[in-house]
Structure 1
Amino acid sequence: MQQDHYQVVNTGWENRRRVYGCLIHLDIRDCKIWIQYDGTEIGVANELIEYGIPKQDIVLAYQPPYMRKLTEFAVG
């Protein structure tokens, strides 16, 4: 069963220390892309828009719902 839950994770070793961290976390729910976490410089939403995804199909889930209403993106 497909869950439509996607993450890009940095994992490995730096010097003698373990490195692990989420860079991007996306979910697809109700035909919308929910950006749960974006640790990139460019911004996943900007990349999606460049690929032709309309802003009304992108939810900035890392923002509280009352703040989403103030953006051009989907509320949820």
Structure 2
Amino acid sequence: MGDKVWIHQDGLEDGIADELLNAGIPQDKIVLGFHHPDLRPYTGFAIR
């Protein structure tokens, strides 16, 4: 869990996940914490 970037809230127009991806952080290292854990496998991002 220590090697992941967790996003708990995203109120940006373009989305912070896109900014992190553009900065070179791999999609499998970003957790969309604002999604329920049951939905995270469908996001394309890390689960936990």
Please tell me the TM-score bracket, short chain as reference.
over 0.9
* Structure richer in strand, relative to its length: 1
- Report % sequence identity: 44
- Larger RCO, structures 1/2 (Cα 8 Å, 6+ apart): 2
Structure 1 runs (4+) greater than 4 angstroms displaced: none
Name the structure with the higher helix share: 2
Which of the pair has more CA radius of gyration?
1
SS at match of 1:56: helix
Q: Which runs of 5+ in 2 are unaligned?
A: none
SS of 1:46's equivalent? helix
C-alpha RMSD of matched pairs (Å)? 0.8
Structure 1 gap ranges (5+): 1-28
**TM-score, scaled to structure 2:** 0.94
